[in-house]
Amino acid sequence: MVRQILPIGALLLGSAFLLFAGGINGLILPVRGSAEGFSAFSLGLLGTGWAIGYVSGCLYTPRLVGRVGHIRSFSVMAAFASVAILASLLLLNPVAWIILRALSGFCFAGAAMIVESWLNERSEPTTRGRIFGAYTMINLGASTGGQLMLTMGDPAGFLFFVLPAMFYCLALVPTAVSSSASPQPLYSVGLDIGTLWRNSPVAVFAVFMVGLSNGAFGTLSPVYADRVGLLVTGVALFASLPVLAGAVAQIPVGILSDKMDRRLLLVLLAALAMVADLAFIILRPEDRATNLALSALFGASIFAMYPVIVAHASDHAADGNFIKISGGLLMVFGLGSIIGPFIAGAAMGQLGATGLFMTTLVAHGLTALYALWRMRQRDAVATEDKTDFKFAPMPRNSTPETIAMSVDEDPPQDDAEGLAGTP
């Protein structure tokens, strides 16, 4: 394994720098914004801006790379990502922050796609699965480490704006000094809701609702933690612990997913998330231990839903094109992520901190009800006909290139309706 990782070590390091910067960037804005007196609604719009930028980056970056190449495109992304976070320090205004957050999302998606395409090109088909696993764990650790950095300083200063800008620039180094030829053109994604819906209605509906829920929580969980009185360390843990719990939960969830109707498992995960939702709403905990325990339960359920949904949709892919299905679902997830923070921010403005979990409660309840209804309309896929369950990183940080890299064999070149090998 070490022999396989060493040749791509520089690229993995560049990706780690990128995710480390993103972890700081994503947490400092709601924490500092809350301290500056920004409303919950305007802080929710930070998540909406990020999701709009991120989806746009996934859609446009392949065309940019096709015109100017990988290294120049990455340089543009790193430069503007650095400018965006530094400008946020100079412009302490919610409207400016929303626009800059959209720019950050665009640049982050583009930079991630370029790094991942390089990794995909440098890995052999027989080892791609192990390299993808190492890449996922490194990024999870880097992102979490970035969030936990906020416990080591004062969010009211300039440190946590300058630091991510530096790491965005450092992420450029591995691609800039690489002596290998540029990879193949990026995979361009097309959104065909009709085809996705005919393939698996429950997957489309559920991934939209999960995007709504996860987008709301990913953006506003630091605001909730701050509003209930947690200190900076507690806020950082409240945002990072659910992601780690979700990663660990994918191991037992993956085992169960291959043995039972994935829609039933989705219902059980949604029900578990609803238990956490109701606990936050009814108990209104203020102590750190209870809030962190409930956040871990919440994360274990919501971050394990996405790979179950993708696996279920892939089970019904008539042509076996899992990349097309996964890419389309990623875009639907992104649409949900645009709406979720907007709704949750408005709910928190009207109902207080628990408005966040009232929003996610509705999303999880609708997911469970629709999955139960679909179980009555269509028989479960036979165990021998199922595709393999795959560990999935946070879809909030996933791109079409992430999906391509997760496939153990050479990904198929497809037409313009899905993912294609050329822009």
**How do residues 379-392 score in pLDDT, each as one tens digit?**
766 665 556 666 66
pLDDT average, residue stretch 337-341: 94
pLDDT, position 85: 95
CATH architecture designation of domain 189-394: Up-down Bundle (1.20)
Tokens found for residue 161: 């704006």
In this prediction, residue 314 carries a pLDDT of: 77
Q: Does 27 have pLDDT greater than 60? A: yes
pLDDT given at position 154: 84
pLDDT at 415: 41
Higher pLDDT, 377 or 90: 90
Confidence of residue 402 (pLDDT cuts 50, 70, 90): confident
Tokens (6 digits) for 248? 């660990």
pLDDT, average across residues 247-267: 87
CA end-to-end distance (rounded Å), the chain: 33
pLDDT value at 24 more than 80: yes
Residue with tokens 């495109």: 73
**Domains of the chain, residue spans:** 1-188, 189-394
| Contact present, 324 and 418 (Cβ < 8 Å) | yes
Is 14 or 403 the better-scoring residue by pLDDT? Answer: 14
- Say which CATH topology domain 1-188 has: Growth Hormone; Chain: A; (1.20.1250)
Name the more confident of 84 and 157: 84
What are the φ/ψ torsions at residue 21 (nearest 5 degrees)?
-65, -40
pLDDT at residue 176, rounded to an integer: 76
The pLDDT tens digits for 41-69 are 999 999 999 999 998 988 888 888 888 88
Q: Cβ distance 58 to 331 under 8 Å?
A: yes
Q: Which of 334, 354, 368, 331 is nearest to 281 (CA)?
A: 354
Q: What is the pTM of this model?
A: 0.86
Tokens of 253: 């969830």
What was the pLDDT predicted at 387? 66
Neighbours of 162 (CB within 10 A): 13
Tokens of 173: 């180094």
Residue 270: name the closest of 389, 393, 361 by CA. 361
Whole-number CA gyration radius for the chain: 20
191-205 b/e (C-beta count within 10 Å ≥ 16 → b): beeebbeebbbbbbb
Give the pLDDT confidence of 94-147 residue by residue, as tens digits: 999 999 999 999 998 888 888 888 777 776 666 666 777 778 888 888 888 999
> How far apart (Å, rounded) are the C-alpha atoms in residues 21 and 78?
11
Q: CA–CA separation, 267 vs 308, rounded Å?
A: 11
pLDDT, tens digit, for every residue of 234-253? 999 999 999 899 888 888 98
**Which stretch of 94-108, 162-176, 265-279, 343-357 has the lowest confidence by average pLDDT?**
162-176
- Mapping DSSP onto H, E and C, the string for the chain reads CHHHHHHHHHHHHHHHHHHHHHHHHHHHHHHHHHHCCCCHHHHHHHHHHHHHHHHHHHHHHHHHHHHHCHHHHHHHHHHHHHHHHHHHHHCCCHHHHHHHHHHHHHHHHHHHHHHHHHHHHHCCCCCHHHHHHHHHHHHHHHHHHHHHHHHHCCCCCCHHHHHHHHHHHHCHHHHHCCCCCCCCCCCECCCCHHHHHHHCHHHHHHHHHHHHHHHHHHHHHHHHHHHCCCCHHHHHHHHHHHHHHHHHHHHHHHHHHCCCCHHHHHHHHHHHHHHHHHHHHHHCCCCHHHHHHHHHHHHHHHHHHHHHHHHHHHHCCCCCCHHHHHHHHHHHHHHHHHHHHHHHHHHHHHHCCCHHHHHHHHHHHHHHHHHHHHHHHCCCCCHHHCCCCCCCCCHHHCCHHHHHHHCCCCCCCCCCCCCECCC
Q: How many other C-beta atoms can be found within 10 angstroms of the C-beta atom of residue 405?
A: 23
If you average pLDDT over residues 193-200, what whole number do you get?
80
